[in-house]
Amino acid sequence: MYLLKKEMMNVDKLNHVNIPTNSESILRVNNLNVYAGEHHILKNLNVKIPKNKVTVLLGPSGCGKTTLLKCMNRLTDIYKELSVSGSIHIENDNILNTTKNIPSIRQKMGLLGQRPYPLPVSIYKNVAYGIKLKGVRDNKLIDYNIEKHLKEVGLWDEVKDRLHSSPQSLSIGQQQRLCLARGLAVKPRIILADEPTSALDPISSKIIENLFRDLKKHYTIVLVTHVLRQAVRIADNVVFMSNGEIIEQGTPDKLFKNPQSSQLQEYLVDGN
């Protein structure tokens, strides 16, 4: 508990001294239910994701955080056994019930997985992939964007001399940043990150966390994690889940200093 408090004080100094509580929401989840056969995975969830903030989905493993994240960009479609109901609005489109094409909806959200999954092509082509899918054919524009996004994730200086070699030659941390750059290259509004640091060493994790702090100026970030301290370090808004339900949500100040539910109280104690 001591460590947690210490870290919270540091974070307060660092980046969120004034948290605007009623900031505009970019994503709204209403009455979301997900079933896998008979099994009720997500139980009537209602969440608002504030714009240009880091929202952390926190909770023990298996509580449905990742499923919620995958509902947000309809990756649930590829799991034939899942049935999803309710609504998820990004701005004014309900993405669960849309006639618009799903690839363009997904491009509004960049996904960062638990482990880096670079495509089996060169570093250059990895970032170029999404740009080309958007229909850009001008090579100069593609080059410009690749450089821009690799710089955005702080990878440019490390890879500029070997853009055409395989991403397998990079460290896991670098690969994860490459995947982030690849996601940013399609100009998303939201970054969905599913325990993006769980496979990384502490230093690489820190780099990713610092990146998120910078990136939230331009993007909205939804971060799934079960690491309490990570949530404390970078969250502007916390959604605590347990067993497919949302137990509490609000600012980290409110949740961590004054938890209402017994589940969160236990989690805060056990998490340290």
Partner 1 sequence: MLYRRIVSDKITEWWMVTSIFIIVILPIIIGFGLFTKAAPLIELKPLGELVGSSTWLPHKKEFGFLPFILGSLYVTLIAFLLSAPICLFSAIYLTQFSSKRVLRIMHPVIDVLAGLPSVIYGVWGIVVIVPFVSDYLAPLFGTTSSGYSILAGGIVLSVMCIPYILNMLIEVFNTIPLGLKEASLSIGATFWEMVKHTVISKGFPGILSAFGLGIAKAFGETMAVMMVVGNMVQVKFHLFDSAYPLPALIANNYGEMLSIPMYDSALMFAALLLFVIILLINLVFRYFIYRTKKHE
CB of 272 to partner 1, least distance (A): 30
Q: Give the number of other CB atoms < 10 A from CB of residue 44.
A: 14
Kindly tell me which of 104 and 210 has the beta carbon lying closer to partner 1.
104
Residue 151 CB, nearest approach to partner 1 (Å): 19
DSSP string, 189-237: SEEEEESTTTTS-HHHHHHHHHHHHHHTTTSEEEEEE--HHHHHHH-SE
Q: How far is the CB of 42 from partner 1 (least distance, A)?
A: 18
Nearer to partner 1, 166 or 261 (CB): 166
Of residues 196 and 259, the one with the C-beta less far from partner 1: 196
For partner 1, the binding residues (CB under 8 A) are 70, 73, 75, 78, 80-81, 103-104, 106-107, 109-111, 113-115, 117, 119-121, 129-130, 133-134, 166, 168, 179, 182-183, 186, 192
The one-letter code for the residue type at 243 is N
CB nearer partner 1, residue 170 or residue 186: 186
Provide, rounded to whole angstroms, the least separation between the CB of residue 199 and partner 1: 11
CB of 123 to partner 1, least distance (A): 12
> Quick one: tokens of 234?
């970078």
Report the alpha-carbon angle 30-50-111, nearest 5: 85
In this structure, which amino acid lies at residue 55? T
Residue 150 is inside which H or E element, if any?
helix 139-152
Least distance to partner 1, CB of residue 73, Å = 6
User: Whose Cβ is closer to partner 1: residue 196's or residue 252's?
Assistant: 196
- The CB-of-208 to partner 1 minimum distance in angstroms stands at 16
Q: Is 30 exposed, middle or buried (0-12, 13-18, 19+ CB in 10 A)?
A: middle
**Closest CB to partner 1 among residues 192, 234:** 192
**Nearest-10 crossing angle of helices 172-184, 202-215:** 20
Residue closer to partner 1 (CB basis): 80 or 217: 80
Nearest Cα to 254, choosing from 244, 239, 234? 239
Q: Are residues 254 and 72 in contact, defined by beta-carbon separation less than 8 angstroms?
A: no
Tokens of 267: 């989690």
Q: Which two tokens stand for residue 242?
A: 């347990």
Instruction: Give the up-direction half-sphere exposure of residue 18: CA atoms within 13 A in the CB hemisphere.
Output: 2
